[in-house]
Amino acid sequence: MFAGRIIALFVLVAAGALAPKCYYLRPLISPEYGASSTTNDDHVVLKSEKLTKFDVVPGLKGFGTVSLKVVGSEKYLRHANYIMRIHNYDASELFSADASFHLLKNCANGYMLQSLNYPNMAIKFDGQLLHLADMPPHPNNNFCWILTQQW
């Protein structure tokens, strides 16, 4: 039931037919944690408090993609040098590609976020750090994510 609503949400967002809402990006196997930008730099890490809220919006580049925009700002989740970061929007092709992801239903109750410009890579967490890594041939819990509206 929950997974069906997520699929419908992403289809509507990617098609531009749904207003974005605030979501927390959480690892499927540890939903008590979530993505958070750090105070010392622009890296995104997993924390149990002060999570970053994202609007899920149509992808900045690519058909059927989504981008995660920080609520109340012009900042987006993107990768740079394979590390997930929160950066201010810029109109470059590279930024748009780095901030656009395909949502793959490769996980039982979650999704892999596949990089648009590195299609063999997806967002993974190791310890606390979020980064791009080669996608495994079979779903791996460190690649599986859910978006929730509640803290």
- The 10 Å CB-count burial string (b at 16+, else e) for 19-48 is ebeebbbbbbeeeebbbbbeeeeebbbbee
Q: What is the pLDDT of residue 5?
A: 44
Report the pLDDT value the prediction gives residue 39, as an integer from 0 to 100.
60
Token representation of residue 85: 């970061």
How far apart are alpha carbons 95 and 72 in whole angstroms? 19
**Are the C-beta atoms of residues 136 and 143 closer than 8 Å to each other?**
yes
Look at residue 2 in the predicted model and tell me its pLDDT. Answer: 38
> Which tokens sit at 96?
């748009």
| Alpha-carbon span 22 to 132, nearest angstrom | 23
C-alpha pair distances (Å), 146 with each of 25, 32, 36, 88, 96:
6, 11, 14, 24, 22
pLDDT at residue 19 in the model: 53
Q: What is the pLDDT of residue 142?
A: 92
Structure confidence at residue 137 (pLDDT): 85
- Count CB-CB contacts under 10 A for residue 8: 11
What pLDDT sits at residue 8? 45
Q: Give pLDDT < 70 ranges for the chain.
A: 1-20, 38-41, 151
Query: Contact at 8 Å (CB) between 77 and 99?
Result: yes
pTM of the predicted model as reported, rounded to 2 decimal places: 0.85
